[in-house]
Structure 1
Amino acid sequence: MPKIDKFEDLEIWKIAVAIAVQVYILCDSEPLKSDWGMKDQIRRAACSMSDNIAEGFEYNNNPDFIRFLNYAKGSSGEFRNKLTILISAGKIEQSTFDDLYSKSLEFSGKTKTLIAYLKEFEANKKKK
C-alpha cells in the first residue's frame, strides 16, 4: 500500500464524508427536519465516521490510527442501527435506506480491511 500523506486521500474518509453530506441533506427535509432528537443522533453518527478517521490519522502513528478506525467502524454500526429504526418507523424511503445502508456496509468493510493491514504491518515491524 502506498504511503498516504493526508487523511483526505483515504477512500474510506471520502465514503464517510459522502454519507455525512447525504445525511445532512436528508435531515433538511421532513419528517426528520422536525425530529430534533433523531436528526441530531443520525448526523452525529454519520459525522463520527469521518471525524474519527481524521483524528486518528493526525496522531501520526499506526496504533492510535487503528484505535480510531475501530471507533469509526463502530459509528458505522450505530449509523446503520439508526437507519433501521427510521425505515421501520416509516420515516425514510426504502431507496434512501438501501443507498445509505449499502454505503455504510462498504465503509465498514473497507475500514476492516485497512485495520487488518495496519495490524499486520505493525506485527511485522515488531518481528524485525
Structure 2
Amino acid sequence: MAKIEKFEDMIVWQEGLAQAVNVYKLLANCTDYSLRDQMRRCSVSVPSNIAEGYERHTNKEFVRYLRIAKGSNGELRTQIHLAVAVDIIDAETGQMLLGKSRLISSMLQNLIKVRLEKFT
C-alpha cells in the first residue's frame, strides 16, 4: 500500500472528486436549478470535507470531517433517488450514480473505523 502524503493520494478523495465531476457534467443542462444546485453542492462537499479534515492534522478532526463527508454523500444519494423519480436522471444513470455513492460511503466508513481503532 502506498504511503499517503497528501489528501490527493487517498482513493476515497479521488472517487469523491470523480463523483462531483460526474454530477456537474450530468446536470449541466438541467433546468431544475434548485435540485441541480443542491446536488452539485453536496457532491462537492464529499471530497472537500475529506481534504479539510486531512489538512487539520489531528485524528479527531479528520474523523469528524470524514463523518461530514459521509453525511453529504448520503444526502446526494437521496437527491439521486429524487432526480430519477422526477425524470431528471434516467434510471440506468441513477443506478450507476447510486452504486458509486454507496461505494464511497463504504470507503468512508472503513476509513473512519481504521482511524478510530488505530489512531485513538
Q: Is this a same-fold pair by TM over 0.5?
A: yes
Q: Percent identity?
A: 38
> Does residue 11 of structure 1 match 2:11?
yes
RMSD of aligned residue pairs (Cα, Å): 1.1
Q: CA deviation at 1:3?
A: 4.2
Match of 2:46 in 1: 49
Match of 2:91 in 1: 94
Where structure 2 has 5 or more consecutive residues not aligned to the other structure, the ranges are none
Match of 1:21 in 2: 21
Q: How does 1:1-128 map to 2 (within 5 A)?
A: 3-29=3-29, 32=30, 34-123=31-120
| Greater gyration radius | 1
Where structure 1 has 5 or more consecutive residues not aligned to the other structure, the ranges are 124-128
Q: How far, CA to CA, are the matches of 1:28 and 1:89 in structure 2?
A: 17
Q: CA deviation at 1:2?
A: 5.7
Question: Residue 69 of structure 2 aligns to a residue in which SS?
Answer: helix
TM-score by length of 1: 0.90
Task: Tell me the number of residue pairs that the alignment of Structure 1 and Structure 2 aligns.
Answer: 120
